[in-house]
Structure formats: structure tokens, C-alpha cells
Chains A and B, each alone.
Chain A
Amino acid sequence: MLELIFTALLVASFVTLFVKNGRVAAVISLIASLLPVAAIIDWGNEFGLKIFSFGLEKSMDFSIAGITMHFSVTALAWFFGVMIFFLIPPIMLFSYSFFEKNRGFFPFMLFLITAVFGILLASDFLTLFFFWELMAASSFILVYMGRDRKAIISYLSFSVLSAVLILTGIALIYSQNGTLLFSNVAFSADEVTVSAIILMIAGFAVKSALMPLHAWAPFVYSKADEPFVAFLSGGLSKMGYYGMFLMLFALPGAKILQQYFDSTVATYILALIGAISAFIGTLLAFMEDDLRKLLAYSSIAQLGYIAVGFGIGSSLAITGALFQAFNHAFFKSVLFLAAGAVAYRTGKWKISELGGVAYKMPFTFMAALFSIFALAAIPITSGFAAKWLLYEAAVSNKYIFITPIMLIASVGAFLYSFRILYGVFLGENRHDDIKEAPLPMVAGMFLLVMPLIIFLIFPGYMLDMMHSALVNAGIGTVSHTNYVISTGMASYNTIAVVVGMMIAMIPAFLIYVLRKHRNIDFKDNFLAGEPYEIYGHISMHAANNFYKPIEDVLMPYLRKGATSFYMALYNAMGRVSKTVRRIYTGLSQDYAIYVAVFLLIIMGWLIW
């Protein structure tokens, strides 16, 4: 049965390659993308999501003369599968309207899904790496279709970097253990294993866009097709964290690191990197004018929180991290899709050129609004629960440096979310001639918003889903009922929170309904900053230059960031390359001299 799913996905991928019509290809892809979802639902019977069962096997060995690939589904893989595969059918639904013609999105997206399915099911390193590379290859082709030079170069080079780091790690583990099966690998606290773990985590961090390995993300997120970017940010970035979880907790790498360094320094560094990613990503996000780049930096920031959770490593922190990963998968997909829907209607990406879209596209606005609530962790969505767990974990572990950074980053998230809401959807109505996004797009976005609301009210369900993954990894779980999460510090009752939130909102709603409305000018000083003398007449409202003063203070420092470091490296390599090419003078006499000198040198080296 399991091989049938793989085959069906590959066949669908192959078929859609030859379908010119985007609608037909979308329908085929939508049906095909339901297969992994069905598999996940079936396996759910064992791991805590009981809906229905058709008796799909849980493991499979697939061998073609000589090589055996081992597949089996674990609780961890299942949880990530829920997170990732439930994203895809709505995205395909969205793509139904988004792509008039099939330009290659559908076949390679299906190929990508096959690869992700393979990664999650892999139970040995060869299979994991094989499918990891398939994922890199197919996602690269999707990036390639975006036709942007920087995106293509940065994505391919970082993918290859990630691949070789992971491969070196795998090779080291193999040389220590003599086996590639996860179940047989036994880590010991020696140099080789520790360096293997660190190499592999660095490799996985590339995919999850952790600083300073994030440099590809802003280019790729802002230039590829939106449905793909939604999946890239929502789904694929989680694969990096899947790998990290696998290395740190499932194969207990975190314990080995702790033993080897005799302290938690290694995981503390991971948490710190995560917090810094969250902080700097947020800063860069709220100064960005391109909506897609803003979302890209926001992704980097939100993904940073997951690394913080993994770095802290307590059961509370990891629960919060996985919860955050789950939420991020959904809310960031919706936001990218909403950006895609807005651009589909208006053709614009710049926040300063957009405005008032919500009056014409109310449903898109609603979906984006809920996702922003989740992003900013406002307790109308499940985003709150995740962040709350993370903060509590950080506080209870006395991470006095990381906690404030996270909190500042979280406040920063309000600053840029506000710009998306006001700059794109509200504010001055600049688009009278547009209409609401097509029904499939809206439906896709609303399907993706659903989990955010469900898990707000029932965070216990989420904790149930990750229960066996955590228990298998020996982490321990957070005690909870369906509505109440109780930790050592306090307990969090979602019903109380939701009711409290409602009550707090009633006066605001009443004021909104009862008071007389007046339209204020777009540049009313109610929302516009006070321009300094030196700027002349630059308007600083929410959509444009709103954070100019902060930008002026911070930009000189941020400009020295990772991206410019890579650019400097790139230019330096270019200079080295030009120097090296001087060796090839183009004169045959020089070359003949090289031959003679070479002969003498090796002769001398060998004889003496």
C-alpha cells in the first residue's frame, strides 16, 4: 500500500508534466495530495487522531538489487506529517485559480511532496539523505521558475551547503557505528559523533533559515510563485526542524552534547541563535517595504522561536516549540497566500503602493487577520498558547538573556503585523477596480485558518498529538486536559482566556458600532509620524516610512549583517578566482614550462 502512495504521487507528477491546462493539473494534484493526508489520518489511529482507518502498513523495506531503503512511520514523523501534509490540499486549491497555465508548478510540487513523504518515513540515513536531496532538487526547480538571479544562486548554493554538511555528518556517524539504521545507531560522547551532530544540525538549520544561514530566504521567498513560497515557508522549513529534532532528541544528540561539553553550552547556543534570529528577523521585517520580503523576515523570526524551544530542551519548551512550528506552518502559509491573492488582483507587492484592499477583498482580509493574530500571539488563535509555553519555559529555566530578546521580538511582531494590516488591507482605498479573490483561493485560505482556531480552544488536542513523539524521545509531556494546560508555574485555561478576551472586546465593539464614523485623511497625524526637518516632506504613515527614525538608527548596524558578509565572501572568491585564472596565461610555452616544473617537483618529492 505504502509503495502505491509513492508510485501514485510520482505518476501524478509525471502526468501533470504534460498537462498544459493549469486547472486540470491542479485537480490532478489536489487529488494526489490527498493521498499522504489519507495516510496520515490512517496512522493517526495509533498516534492520537482517531478518524478512520483503512489498514495502511506502518513500515516498508524497499530494495532494488543492492540497496535497501527502510521506511517506517514514527510518532515524530507523524506529527510533522500532520503539520505538513494538511497544508498541501488547501494550497493546491489556491493554485487552482492562481495558475491559468501549468508552467511546471504542479509536477515539481508533487515531486516535492513525494520527497517530503520519503524524508518523514525514512528510518535510515541513506533514505533520509536521498529524499532530502530530492526535496532540494525539486524545490530548486520551483525556485528556478521564479527567474531571479539572486534567488537561484543563493538557493542552490545553500542547498548544496546543507546537503554536504548533512552528508559529512552521516558519513561520520556511519564510520563510528557501521550502520545507518536509526534504530541501531548508538551515539557515544566522542569527538567524531559530536562533530557529526553539529554538522548535521548546521545542515538542517540551512533549511529552517536560522541565522546566519538564512541569507537565501529573503530572495527566494520574494521571487518564487506564492503557493510554492507558502509551502516553502510553512512546510519545508519544518523539515529542517524535523531533522534537528531527530538528531537532538530522537537519537539523543542533546544528551551527548551535554556529556561531551559537560554543560548545556551547545544547546544554549542553539537557543541563543534562535532568539537572535527572532530578534533580527523582526527588526528587518518591520522596515521592509516589499510585502513578500517582510513575510520572509517574519518567517525567519518566527522560526527562530522553534530553535529557542529546542535549545532549552525541557518538555515545556519542546512542546511550545512544536506547537509554534505547527501554528507557523498554517499562519505563514495563509499570509503568503493572502499576499499572493492580493498580488493576483492588484499586481503589486509594495506596501507603500497598496492600501484599502480589505474593502474589496474582505474574505482575504479575514483570513490574513486571523493569521496575523496567530503570528502576534494574540489569544484569538492558537498562536498564543505556543508562545506562552515558550516564554514560560525560558523563564522557568532562568534564561535571563534569551527571554528578554524573545519578548522584544514579540513586540516587534506587532509592529510589522500592524503594517501589513494597515498598509495593505486598510488605510486609504487605492483600489476601486478590484474584486474579491476567486472562490478556490478564499476557500484554501480559510481551510488553513481553521486549525488555528480549533487549537486555540482545544490546545489539549495538539498536546495529545505530540504526546507519543515526546514520550518516545524520552522528553516527558506537559500535563493537560482538553482546555487546560498545567505547568509547574501556572495553568492556562483556554476557555477563561477566550471568554476574557471576548469580554474585553465587547466594549471596543460597542464603541465601534455606536459611535458616529468619520473618514480621516490617509495622512492624518493620527497615524502619521512627525517628519523631521531634514526629511522635508516625506510622509511617514503606517504604509510608508513609518519606522524611519528606528531605521536610521539601526540600519548601519544591520547592513553589516550576514547577507553582506556572504556578498563580501562572494566578491573575495571572485578575486581569488581571477587570480587563479592568471595561471592560464594562454601561452603554450608557459604551459610547457608548467609540465616540466611539475615533472621535476614530483620527481624530487618522490625520490627524496
Chain B
Amino acid sequence: MVMHPVLMIAIPLLSAFIMPLIKKAHRYFAFSILLLNTALSILLFAKVYNEGALYETIAGFSPPVGIYLAVDNLSALLAFLINIFATINFLTSRQDFRFSMLYLLGVAGATGIVLTGDIFNMFVFFEITAVASYALVASKKDRKATEGAIKYMILGSVGSVFMLVGIAIIYSQLKSLNLYDIAARISSMDPKMMWLSFSFLLTGIGVEAELFPLNGWVPDAYEGAESNISSFLSFGPSKASIYAIARLLIIFSMSRTYELALYLGIVTLLVGELAAFTQKNTKRMLAYSSIGQMGLILIAFSLMDKTSYAIPAAFFIIVSHASAKSALFLLSDKDGFGDMSSKYAGLAGVLSLIGMPPLAGFWGKWYLLMGVADEKIWAVAAIIIFSAVIEAIYFARYLYKNMEGKESSRNSIPAAVMVSISIVMGILPILYNMAGGVLNA
């Protein structure tokens, strides 16, 4: 079986550029490409799961010229998640071929970020996703979309410059771009340079990963964009970048960086949840809530060095957030749940986000609090409890507001399918082992 992870990046990337040539059938073509990519990601996952982590160098060129991929269980799973959500989300597409093109580019970039094992490639993939996302946000032709896209672009480009600076510092010191190589030799770096590069990288990636205070673009871009694009932003670039931050933390595996990530996660969580608390506009509320959830994921990742619950916790929160929040964004094109499937998607989505079984969010909450209690960090436990209640209140309000709907959302069926993935992940504990954590408590 010829299964090379690079196909998952190359196929959508190349086919994106074919889109303008096949204007008529672009939708079917793009959809089949996404489907193919999802199938590949399942195969990749099976391979990684059976044979252990995978390191591939492309076409014999060594980095930095060639592409170097490093795939472990978690990144294969994330690649799978990104692709399957992208496939489902694409069903809602009503835009023209330019949308399909940018969308495929974005998916290729996000997949690349999670699969790559090379920090410069990571930067390139970040740029691909980011550029595609700016254009996607701007593609809705009204003032708000343009405003959101501009803010997104300004902050995104500042971020990518910072990221590039961080990479340059590392390269100047270690003459290497390979993540594993860097991780192995990081302690030989001049500590000041090391912290400098870490700060630049964290700031750069943090813009995409919606960390506070780098997330100014989030409410405007999510509000302005078409609802299926907000949905894409919430499962694609943001999840890939939070994973990139996790990799960054592993590379600079110092207690100080984990501590910083913990504080950052807490602040992001609190700011996001509190900002969402009184937000009346549904899409902005969901955007602030996304910020909060990203903080929660970062808290989970920041406990990685201490407890084995951290990775499953982060994984399940990612699943829950990617599926449920994306579904809620899809539904946000209409006020109110008009039909059965949107009612189902809305309710199940909210229940997943606040962590109720049999949805993925339940396991996220379970493992996260298990990890926190394991470490006996009381303040964090209190903050998680507090933010969970805040979240419950505004989501209850959201549900109440959307109870009656005259017309049903056009996206209701894809949204329902997306939420179902959260249920499947929640009731198939086989996936826990796959996420690489301790399962049976």
C-alpha cells in the first residue's frame, strides 16, 4: 500500500490550482478531493497506529529544501479530524470556484501544519492557510467581512513576521530546522537566544491560535465571514495552530514555558468566557467562546509534562470544539433552530461544549480535571469550574434564544453530521488509546 503522508498535503494543494480550469464541475471535484484526503488520513492513522510514529523525507532532498514530515498518533488524528470536518463543511458550499480553490488551499495548509516535522515548512503552511483564510473571510461581499478580513490580515502578517524571526534565530544558532533535531539540541543554545526565539514563535503562532491578547481579529473575522467559513476557521487553522503550540512546548520543554502556557491558557479562558457572557450577537458570542475553549486546550497542553491525562484531555476538547463549535457556526446563518436536524445539532453541540456525555466534550472535561487534580493545582480547578458555569449560562441563553425558528438553516444537515462525530468520538473509547494517553482510570 503506497501511503505517503505528503499526498495529503500535495493532492489538495495541486488540485486547488486546477479549480480555475474546471469551473463547472469544481464543486464535485473539490469534494472528491476532500473525500480522498479523508480516506488517506484514515489510512495514515491506521499506519501510524500500527507501526509507530512516521518520519518521512520527501524526494531525497534533505531539509530545508525538501519537506520533512513527522507523524505521530495525535497529529494523524488531527489530520483526520481536519479533513473529515472539511469534507462535511464543504457540503454547505454555495460559492463559486474561487471558494473551492481557497478552501482546498486552507485545508492543505492546516493538514501540513499538523503533519510537518520541519519548522520552516510549518511556517510555509501557516502562510498558506492564513492567506487562504484571509481571502475566504473577505469573500463575502459586505463591509463587515472586509473589516474582519483586514484585521485578520494585519494581525496575521504581524504574527507571521514574528514567527519568521523566531525561526531565523533558531536557525542562526543551531543551523537546523528539523523539529526533532532542534528539540534534541535546544539546551545547547544560548539561553537568551532560546527565550527570544520562543517568545517570537509563541507570539507568531499565538495570533492564529487565538490566544489572548493576540486574538483581536477573532470576533470581527468570525462575525463577518460567511457562516461556513467561520466554521472552517474554528476547526481548521485554529486547531492546527494550537497543535503547533503544543509542539513548540515540547521542543522547548522547560518548566518555565509550560508555566507560561498555563498562565496564558488561564487568561485566554477567562477573557474569552467572560467576553462571551453578555455578548448578544450570536456569531460574536460563539467567537468569544472559541477563544475561551482555545484557552482550555492550552491549559490541557500545558500540563503535558506533568500528567498523562493532558494529551487525551486536549484531544477531546479539540474534537468537541471542532465538531460542536463548527456546527453552531454553520447554524448561525439563521436565527433559531427551524427544523429537527438543526435542533439536534444545536442541542447536542451545546451539550458537547459544556461537557456532557455521551459526547466528546465529556471526556475532555473528565481528563482535564483528572489531570488538574493529579497536580493539585487548586486555582486552576476553581477557574475551570467558574468558567464552566459561565459557559453554561451563556449557552443556555443561546439555546433559549434559538428555540423558535421560522425558517431552517440551509446548513442544518451538515451541522448535524458534524455533531454526530462528537457523539461517535464520545462513545467509542477505542479512540482514547489512540490519542496516546492513559485511559482506563
User: Which among B275, B381, B384, B390 has the highest number of chain A CB atoms within 10 Å?
Assistant: B275
Contact: B440 with A66, CB < 8 Å?
yes
Known: A164-B384, A165-B385. A153 touches B376 (CB 8 A): no
Contact A595 B429 (CB under 8 A): no
Residues in B neighbouring A50, C-beta threshold 8 A: none
Taking CB as reference atom, which chain A residue is nearest B359?
A: A137
Interface flags, A556-591, vs B, CB<8A=1, else 0: 000000000000001001101110110111101011
Chain A's interface size range is 35 or more
Residues of B within 8 A of A585 (CB): 216
B342 to chain A minimum Cβ distance, whole angstroms, is: 14
Chain B 41-60, CB-CB to A under 8 Å as 1, else 0, gives 00000000000000000000
What residues on B are CB-neighbors of A584 within 8 Å?
Answer: 216, 219, 275
- A174 close to B440 (CB less than 8 A): no
Tell which of B373, B391, B429 touches A168, judged by Cβ atoms closer than 8 Å. Answer: B373
Q: Is the interface of B mostly helix, strand, loop or mixed?
A: helix
Interchain Cβ contacts under 8 Å between A and B, 23 examples:
A65-B428, A65-B430, A66-B432, A66-B440, A126-B366, A126-B441, A129-B366, A134-B356, A147-B400, A155-B396, A156-B393, A163-B355, A164-B365, A164-B385, A174-B373, A577-B277, A578-B278, A580-B274, A586-B220, A594-B213, A598-B203, A603-B199, A606-B195
Grouping DSSP codes into helix (H, G, I), strand (E, B) and loop, the A interface class, with mixed when no group exceeds half, is helix
A157–B393 touching, CB < 8 Å? yes
CB distance from A16 to the nearest CB of B (A): 15
Contact with B along A150-193 (1 / 0, CB 8 A): 00110111011101110110011011000010000000000010
Contact B439 A66 (CB under 8 A): yes
Hey, what's the 0/1 contact readout for A131-150 against B, CB within 8 Å counting as 1?
00110110011001001010
Q: Are B389 and A164 in contact (CB under 8 A)?
A: yes
Contact B392–A160 (Cβ < 8 Å): yes
Tell me if A499 is interfacial: C-beta within 8 Å of chain B: no
Contacting pair A598 B213 (CB below 8 A): yes
A157 and B274 form a contact (CB under 8 A): no
Whether B393 pairs with A603 at a CB distance below 8 angstroms is no
Interface residues on B, range: 35 or more
Q: How far is the CB of A93 from chain B (nearest CB, A)?
A: 28
B345 at the interface (CB under 8 A from A): no
Known contacts A594-B214, A607-B192, A580 near B155 by CB under 8 Å: no
Chain B residues at the A interface, C-beta cutoff of 8 Å: 150-151, 154-155, 158-159, 162, 191-192, 195-196, 198-200, 202-203, 206-207, 213-214, 216-217, 219-220, 256-257, 260, 271, 274-279, 288, 347, 351, 354-358, 362, 365-366, 369-370, 372-374, 376, 381, 384-385, 388-393, 395-397, 399-400, 403, 428-430, 432-433, 439-441
Taken together as a complex, chains A and B put the C-alpha atoms of A180 and B441 apart, in Å, by 7
Closest to A585 in B: B216
Residues of A within 8 A of B151 (CB): 588, 591
Question: Given that A133-B356, A165-B385, A595-B207 are known contacts, is A153 also in contact with B195, CB under 8 Å in the complex?
Answer: no
Known: A175-B374, A580-B275. A157 touches B384 (CB 8 A): no
Whether A592 contacts B199 by the Cβ 8 Å rule is: no
In the docked arrangement, what's the CA distance between A165 and B385, Å?
Answer: 7
A490 at the interface (CB under 8 A from B): no
CB-CB under 8 A from B202, the residues of chain A are 602
Q: Could you say which residues of chain A place their CB within 8 Å of the CB of B203?
A: 595, 598-599, 602
Q: Which residues of B contact A180 (CB under 8 A)?
A: 441
The 3 closest A-B pairs by CB, nearest first: A591-B216, A171-B373, A160-B392
Across-interface contacts of A192 in B (CB, < 8 A):
376
- Residues from chain A with a CB closer than 8 A to the CB of B384 are 164
Q: Evaluate contact between B362 and A168: CB separation under 8 angstroms.
A: no
**CB distance A174 to B213 under 8 Å?**
no
Q: B155 — which chain A residues lie within 8 A by C-beta?
A: 588, 591-592, 595
Complex Cα distance A192/B372, Å?
13
Let me know if A137 and B356 touch, CB within 8 A: yes
Complex Cα distance, B404 from A149, in Å, reads 12
Residues on A with beta carbons closer than 8 Å to the beta carbon of B370: 171, 174-175
Q: Once the chains bind, are A153 and B192 in contact (CB under 8 Å)?
A: no
**A51 part of interface (Cβ distance < 8 Å):** no
Chain B residues in 8 Å Cβ range of A607 = 191-192, 195-196
Q: A64-B428, A133-B355, A581-B278 are in contact. List 8 more A-B contacts (CB 8 A).
A: A136-B356, A147-B403, A149-B397, A153-B393, A153-B397, A171-B369, A576-B277, A606-B195
Nearest B-chain residue to A129, judged by Cβ = B366
Question: Are A157's CB and B389's CB within 8 A?
Answer: yes
Q: Which residues of B contact A175 (CB under 8 A)?
A: 370, 373-374, 376
Contact B278 A168, beta carbon cutoff 8 Å:
no
- CA A149 to CA B398, docked complex, whole Å: 10
In the bound complex, what is the Cα–Cα distance between A147 and B402 (angstroms)?
11
Query: Which residues of A sit under 8 angstroms from B274, Cβ to Cβ?
Result: 573, 576-577, 580
Proximity bits, A201-227, B CB within 8 Å = 1, else 0? 000000000000000000000000000
Q: Does A534 reach chain B (CB closer than 8 Å)?
A: no
Inter-subunit contact B388/A164 (CB<8 Å): yes
The minimal Cβ–Cβ distance linking B241 to chain A, given in whole angstroms, is: 15
Q: Is there a chain B Cβ closer than 8 Å to A526's Cβ?
A: no
What is the CA–CA distance of A590 and B203 in the complex, to the nearest angstrom? 16
Residue in A closest to B256 when the chains form the complex, CB atoms:
A606
A160 to B386, alpha carbons, bound, how many Å? Answer: 10
Pair A64/B159 contact, Cβ less than 8 Å = no
With a cutoff of 8 Å between Cβ atoms, the chain A residues found around residue B430 in the complex are 64-66
On whether the beta carbons of A573 and B199 are closer than 8 Å, the reply is no
**Among the interface residues B257, B358, B373, B391, which one has the most CB atoms of the partner chain A within 10 A?**
B373
Q: Report the minimum CB–CB distance from B322 to chain A (whole Å).
A: 20
A149 to B397, CA, bound (A): 7
Is A535 an interface residue, CB under 8 A from the partner? Answer: no
Question: By the criterion CB–CB under 8 Å, are B347 and A141 in contact?
Answer: yes
A67 within 8 A of B: yes
The answer to whether A168 touches B385, judged by C-beta atoms less than 8 angstroms apart, is yes
* Contacting residue for A595 out of B158, B219, B432, B433, CB 8 A: B158
